[in-house]
A = this chain, B = another copy of it.
Amino acid sequence: MTRRDVLPPGIAGHNRTMVTPHYAVMPPEGILESRLPGFEKTKIRFHTSPAMGANFAQALLEIEDGGGTPAPLMDGLEHFFFVVEGEAEIAADGQTRRLDAGGYAYVAAGKSYAVTGAAKIIWVKRPYVAAPGIAPRASFFGHRHDVPKVNKHTRGRNWQALLGEADMAMDMEVNILSFEPGNYFPFVETHIMQHGLYMLEGQGLYLLGREWHECWVGDFIWMGAYVPQQFYATGWGETAYLLYKDVNRDVTF
């Protein structure tokens, strides 16, 4: 039984959506699917894009068995794929790997990529910004289970650096942050870095701008540059989210 089945009639009374010039909160049930050339038997649910004000794009791919990209694609962008559910074969720059939930792939800018299988996959992409004198990183694969959980700043708050931390070759990071119930950040942050946040486990309250938003598994949140933000993890178990962040690059005019 899915959440879709159990919501009472007149569901707009349960509206948790919010889209502003600075941030967006989008529960999963309202993000309708797109179709894209180059994909088959695949629903693409776009989470964000430059049309929202973001400097990256993010989508949830729902690939039916036998669906995905029949042929490799190449669009000049860098890509990050994270398997949320099911199993997928992902090809990056000519190399292919079978990944189950928690597996991920980074496709360097300008390289080919392909995705097939029966899976739900978070897909992040953006134009790569080179740094003078630093060679870009090559494509690679990884798995959430192989990334150490590092305790940061306070008991009960952990980081897993899936992509890009402390690597000046990268212009973006992807991390998994996890929290014991009750944990929170000590400040309302207003940093230049944007975020795409996908709730993997648990629940919490996000302060965005001046308003608190309850969120839980499956929700997507976009945080634009500088938007005030703070978080309290709640509930009875661990809360975790996948977090995109643009890093290591100067401002542009």
Contact = CB atoms under 8 A, between A and B. Distances in A.
Contacts of A49: 192, 225, 251
A168 B188 CA distance: 41
A152 to B, nearest CB: 13
Interface string A77-90: 10000000000000
Given A13-B214, A34-B247, A19 B227 contact: yes
B192 A226 contact: no
Interface stretch (A92-100, A110-118, A231-239): A231-239
Given A49-B251, A181-B180, A192-B49, A203 B9 contact: yes
Q: Majority SS of interface residues in chain A?
A: loop
B192 A12 contact: no
Contacts of A234: 10, 182-184, 232, 234
B190 A30 contact: yes
A250 B46 CA distance: 10
A183 B236 contact: yes
**Interface residue tally on A, bucketed by range:** 35 or more
Given A24-B226, A37-B168, A191 B29 contact: no
Contacts of A186: 4, 7, 11
Given A182-B182, A189-B32, A13 B13 contact: no
A136 interface: no
B10 A214 contact: yes
Given A214-B12, A226-B52, A34 B192 contact: yes
Given A6-B6, A236-B182, A228 B188 contact: no
Contacts of A6: 6-8
A209 interface: yes
> Top 5 nearest A-B pairs by Cβ distance?
A181-B182, A6-B6, A13-B214, A49-B251, A17-B228
